[in-house]
Amino acid sequence: MSGMDQDVFDAFLEQLKRYVRERLVPAEKQILETDVIPDEIMKEMRDMGLFGLTMPEEFGGAGMNISQYTRTIRELSYAMPCYRSITSINIGMVCSALMKGGTAEQKAEWLPRLAGGEIASFGLTEPGSGSDSAAMQTMATRSGNGYVLNGTKRYITNAPFANVALIMARTSKEALPKNAHVSAFLVPMDTPGISVGKSDKKMGQAGSHIADIIMEDVHVPGDALLGGEEGKGFVTAMQSLDNGRLSVGSAAAGYARRALDSAMRYANERKAFGEPIANFQLIQQMLADSEIEIYAAECMLEDAARRADAGENILRKAAAAKVFASEMCGRVVDRVVQIYGGAGYLAEYDAERFFRDSRIYRIYEGTTQILQLQIAKHMLREWSASA
């Protein structure tokens, strides 16, 4: 993918960097108190085009390629995670699924709306299933020209304020090979029969909301079926998860950089034994190890994104980059708490929040363990084929 003109992208990135530090970071205190991104910031983010980064220009987007998108997410994720959460489901997953699997009519209807800042949700996980699609319970039953949806989706990011959800549902009771029993539906959230549970209380990630989506006899027309073909939904969803995983990996790398900057500031200000703790070699070791690991994650993410832009299948590399970046972020924020010492355990200081916010990165868009299994499965399959 050619993407946005490089000079234009560089200028945009510089503008975003300033915006993140001058506007988004200072607003974090208010979001921590209210658990909501202020309306005026939401408007500014829409006006900056942050909801349409990867949408083609003809649909009102910026037309970024994957390398530019992941770089943008890293910059945006220097600020607290809710800013990425509200935009990234649109761009990283639902837009990707539409671009890869939507009909011309679906693209024409939904891409401009998503680029303009309507909020999307991605409805895969259920109370009894996530990566295990054979256990999925949500059913889409044919009714006239359309379908009736029944089921519950769980831990759905943006559900409380989404305008549309991409819902995965069974169109066959039997589990079929290659997950052909699962289809995807574009469902406006104001469709009768849809209700949203109360926003779940979480360990961290203030301002980002997850909730259940409950569907009771939800009638959707035939053209709600993504791609107009049954049995393609799960495949499309999994392909868009590659982008979702690069987005989460980029978020982890961006936030690790923020945490490390915070630790650098603290280590230079805090004195012990008459000098800044930054002078102590074991503090320096933690700072250096963090720098090394962030750099490694950035390189992995840039390489995977470049390969995706070149048309390579990056399933394994996207999974590897997401695992490394999210686990790396966990190690960095742990060191940051340690550098802060006793202050790192207090809610008054940022280190404690960085620690809590980062824990989810190793879980969503595929847990570390599921992705390890996926990577190994593909390694072993390739080994068998070449043996």
* 235-386 CATH: 1.20.140.10
Q: For position 1, what pLDDT does the model report?
A: 61
Residues 6+ apart with CB under 8 A from 295: none
Residue spans in the chain of domains classed CATH 1.10.540.10: 6-118
> pTM of the entire structure?
0.92
Measuring CA to CA, which residue among 127, 171, 151 is closest to residue 215?
151
How far, in Å, CA of 81 to CA of 255, rounded? 8
One DSSP character per residue, 8-23 reads: HHHHHHHHHHHHIIII
Secondary element (H or E) of residue 317:
helix 315-340
Measuring CA to CA, which residue among 89, 28, 74, 82 is closest to residue 251?
74
Q: For position 176, what pLDDT does the model report?
A: 82
The CB density around residue 215, as the number of other CB atoms within 10 Å, is 25
CA atoms in the 13 A half-sphere facing the CB of 191: 24
Q: Where do we find the tokens 């039997």? A: 174
How far, in Å, CA of 193 to CA of 191, rounded? 6
Measuring CA to CA, which residue among 122, 79, 54 is closest to residue 308?
54
Which architecture, in CATH terms, is 121-231?
Beta Barrel (2.40)
Secondary element (H or E) of residue 184:
strand 182-188
Q: Where do we find the tokens 């190793």? A: 362
Residue 217, classed as helix, strand or coil, is: strand
Q: Where do we find the tokens 């360990």? A: 203
Q: How do the pLDDT tens digits run along the chain, 387 residues long?
A: 678 999 999 999 999 999 999 999 999 999 999 999 999 999 999 999 999 998 899 999 999 999 999 999 999 999 999 999 999 888 878 888 898 899 999 999 999 999 999 999 999 999 988 767 778 999 999 999 999 999 999 999 999 999 999 999 999 888 788 888 999 999 999 999 999 999 988 999 888 999 999 999 999 999 999 999 998 877 887 777 788 899 999 999 999 999 999 999 999 999 999 999 999 999 999 999 999 999 999 999 999 999 999 999 999 999 999 999 999 999 999 999 999 999 999 999 999 999 999 999 999 888 999 999 999 999 999 999 987
How far, in Å, CA of 371 to CA of 344, rounded? 31
Residue spans in the chain of domains classed CATH 2.40.110.10: 121-231
Please confirm, yes or no, whether 365 is among the known catalytic residues. yes
Yes or no: say if 158 and 204 are a contact pair by the CB < 8 Å rule. no
Distances 101 to 90, 147, 187, 251, 255 between C-alpha atoms, Å: 15, 19, 15, 26, 32
Q: For position 253, what pLDDT does the model report?
A: 98
Measuring CA to CA, which residue among 346, 348, 350 is closest to residue 80?
350
How far, in Å, CA of 247 to CA of 305, rounded? 10
Secondary element (H or E) of residue 283:
helix 281-309
How far, in Å, CA of 89 to CA of 184, rounded? 15
Which architecture, in CATH terms, is 6-118?
Orthogonal Bundle (1.10)
Q: Which of 22, 327, 365, 382 is catalytic?
A: 365
Yes or no: say if 71 and 117 are a contact pair by the CB < 8 Å rule. no
Q: Please report, as a single letter, which amino acid is at residue 130.
A: G
